[in-house]
Amino acid sequence: MLSRSRLKSASNPDAILALLSGVGLSSADIAEVLVAHPLLLRGSPKKIGPRLHALRDRLGLSTPQIACFLLVGSRALRRCDVVPKLEFLISFFGSFEQLLAIIKKSDRILEADVERVLNPNIALLRQWGLSVRDIAQLCSHHARMLTCSPERIKEFLLRAEELGVPRSSRMFKYAVSVVLDITKEKAAHKLKFLKSTLGCSESEAAIAVNANYPAIV
């Protein structure tokens, strides 16, 4: 005789399939989502149902948009209430499509706490002179950026400034992008190489870096 837990597990797939169909997904859409995220079938219908309907009824996403989101965001949908985070992030980045491009790089942003992680990190980046557009561009290449601790974010910002690119420079966002890609030691080595090759002082190398980031580093 099957245990209660196994009966519950066996009934979940049909319930999840009905929920996906209920928000308008076609059989082809559902198949594509489940190939990408088979564990969705093991989720709790009581939790996933309201979240799915909120994508349509609260966020106003179309059926194609819901299908696109589930291809990259089903793991987060299964694990937490993503709708408040989606509301915040869509508003911040300006469109669902722009946010979707970032989620495709990493869905961790959907599990970050808005008040404890996302807002403080955005506020810190803005304090350092980065615009919303700058932040969006950085996140498109470094999706993990907003999910780091504020201390880690500040470390990246200081490293960019240490390379001779002041926060007031239009090139500062490129400097931040570069330090997100390479270690502090590697960046220092490249700057030392630049000074040696050009035969210039540290301040002159900093000016060159500021004028030519990210091509030089």
DSSP annotation of 143 reads G
pTM to 2 decimal places: 0.75
Two tokens at 40? Answer: 């969705």
Residues 105 and 170 placed together within one structural domain of the fold:
no
Residues 106 and 154 placed together within one structural domain of the fold:
no
Residues 159 and 204 placed together within one structural domain of the fold:
yes
Residues 3 and 105 placed together within one structural domain of the fold:
yes
* 184 phi/psi in degrees, rounded to 5: -60, -40
pLDDT of 165 reads: 80
| Dihedral of alpha carbons 117, 118, 119, 120, sign | positive
Interval 147-162: pLDDT, tens: 988 889 999 999 888 8
153: Cβ contacts below 8 Å, ≥ 6 apart: 121, 124, 125, 145
Distance CA 190, CA 162 (A): 13
| Dihedral of alpha carbons 14, 20, 24, 30, sign | negative
* 2 phi/psi in degrees, rounded to 5: -70, 145
Residues 103 and 148 placed together within one structural domain of the fold:
no
Comparing C-alpha atoms, which of 155, 162, 151, 154 is closest to residue 188?
162
Interval 87-145: pLDDT, tens: 999 999 899 999 999 999 889 999 999 999 999 999 999 999 999 889 988 888 887 88
Residues 85 and 176 placed together within one structural domain of the fold:
no
Query: Which of these three, 111, 145, 172, is where a domain ends?
Result: 111
Q: Count the Cβ atoms, other than its own, within 10 Å of residue 170.
A: 11
Distance CA 168, CA 80 (A): 38
Number of structural domains the chain divides into:
2
Residues 107 and 169 placed together within one structural domain of the fold:
no
Distance CA 72, CA 56 (A): 17
For residue 183, the Cα-to-chain-centroid distance in whole angstroms is 21
Query: Which of these three, 74, 94, 111, is where a domain ends?
Result: 111
Q: Residue 35 — very low, low, confident or very high, per pLDDT cuts 50/70/90?
A: very high
Query: Which of these three, 85, 111, 137, is where a domain ends?
Result: 111
Residues 59 and 24 placed together within one structural domain of the fold:
yes
User: Residue holding tokens 């869905």?
Assistant: 107
Which residue range(s) make up the domain with 104?
A: 1-111
Residues 119 and 189 placed together within one structural domain of the fold:
yes
Residues 216 and 125 placed together within one structural domain of the fold:
yes
Q: Count the Cβ atoms, other than its own, within 10 Å of residue 4.
A: 7
Residues 176 and 200 placed together within one structural domain of the fold:
yes
Judged by DSSP in three states, 198 sits in helix
